[in-house]
Amino acid sequence: MSNPAKEFGKIYDKHVEKIYRFVYLKVNSIETAQDLTSEVFLRGWESFKKKGKEIDNMSAFLYQIARNLVTDHYRTKAQAILVSTDSAPTIPDIGTSLEEMAMIHSDVDRIKAVLANIRDEYREVIVWYYLDEFSVPEIAKILNKSEEAVRVLIHRALKALKAELGEV
């Protein structure tokens, strides 16, 4: 590689928004999403320097790092005794402040809140298929599943989302 930093810079530019969104829609906190996304690209850069062109699918590679980091993040949080405001539920309980209730008032906000709480693989395929516009074969590669399995997963994910929104 003639200039790995420049090449990785292009990879960063291409993927940073998508990876950030992927992480944010799970953790629902700007600071946590920024921290985890930075870590994704730091680790991606480490691997890129060592393996470079050997990484067949950089997109899938970065998403895999992101998935692992989000899982680790929640594993660490589950062990913590104190609950910060970041991990507070976005669906407000009775007595939630006016600002939280106002934040949930729109359909899109409801979808955002529900997405953070549905099964990880359902949320992931919804993000990849509808937001990032990955094709079924691309998603199948990331998940190491058959294309048919991915189509079924997308269908079930949408159904689960509707059920959570109370739309079934």
Partner 1 sequence: MNDKELIGKIKELRSVKPSQDWVSFTKNRILTEEKFGYQEQDASVFSVFRYKLALAPLLGVFVVIGLFGFAQSTIPGDFFFSVKKMTETVQVGLTSIAEKPKVQLQLANRRLEELSRIAESNRTGNLAPAIEEFQASVAEAARDLAAMGNVTSSDQIVLKELIEESRKLSEGKERVESVLGTKIGDTGELETALGSLEKKTAEYLIEDLENRTLSEGYQEKLEEAKENFDAGDYQEALFKLWQIHNH
Residues that bind partner 1 in the complex, under the rule CB under 8 A: 5, 8-9, 12-13, 16-17, 20-21, 24-25, 29-31, 33-34, 37-38, 41-42, 45, 49, 85, 88, 97-100, 102-103, 107-108, 111-112, 115, 126, 130-131, 158, 161-162, 165, 167
Running DSSP on this structure, what letter comes out for residue 52?
Answer: G
For residue 52, give both structure tokens.
């470079």
Min separation Cβ 62 and partner 1, Å: 13
Contacts of 7 (CB under 8 A, 6+ apart): 1, 48
Min dist. Cβ of residue 21 to partner 1 (A): 5
The residue (of 50 and 53) whose beta carbon lies closer to partner 1 is: 50
Cα–Cα nearest to 163, from 103, 117, 109: 117
Residue with Cβ nearer partner 1 (42 or 72): 42
Q: Which residues contact 164 (CB under 8 A, 6 or more apart)?
A: 114, 117, 118
Give the nearest distance from C-beta 162 to partner 1 in angstroms: 6
Nearest residue (CB) to partner 1, 3 versus 144? 3
Q: Could you tell me what percentage of the chain is helix, strand and coil, using 3-state DSSP and rounding each to the nearest 5?
A: 75, 0, 25
Q: Which of 88, 130, 97, 91 is nearest to 114 (CA)?
A: 91
Q: How far is the CB of 8 from partner 1 (least distance, A)?
A: 7
Between 21 and 141, whose beta carbon lies closer to partner 1?
Answer: 21
Min separation Cβ 111 and partner 1, Å: 6
112 contacts 27 by C-beta, under 8 angstroms: no
Nearer to partner 1, 4 or 146 (CB): 4
143 residue type, one letter: L
